[in-house]
Amino acid sequence: MSSSTEPSTATKVSEPAPIASEEKPKPCCACPETKQARDACMLQSSNGPIECAKLIEAHKKCMAQYGYEV
């Protein structure tokens, strides 16, 4: 019996670090967590741009880390 110890590859869940352009995801797939929260807020609020401003800014910040200007 052999014991296999695999190193943990993703234990930290935080904002992604800037990555090389060849590994850059498409804009639609870059920040799914912030996109989902922003979209849900926009659909459920009567005045989305004002009520969801913090979520919109968080998504813009995430996208900027991948090199996208929104």
Per residue in 10-56, pLDDT (tens digit) is 444 445 555 555 688 999 999 999 999 999 999 999 999 999 999 99
Predicted local confidence at residue 70, as pLDDT: 85
Q: Alpha helices, DSSP H only, in the chain?
A: 32-44, 48-51, 53-65
Reduced to 3 states (helix: H, G, I; strand: E, B; else coil), residue 18 is coil
- At residue 64 the predicted structure's pLDDT band, cuts being 50, 70 and 90, is very high
Predicted local confidence at residue 31, as pLDDT: 97
Name the binding residues for Cu cation.
Answer: 28-29
Q: Is 62 exposed, middle or buried (0-12, 13-18, 19+ CB in 10 A)?
A: buried
Predicted local confidence at residue 68, as pLDDT: 95
Name the binding residues.
Answer: 28-29
- Candidates 65, 67, 3; CA nearest to 34 is 65
Domain coordinates in residue numbering, the chain: 29-65
Say yes or no to pLDDT of 2 above 90: no
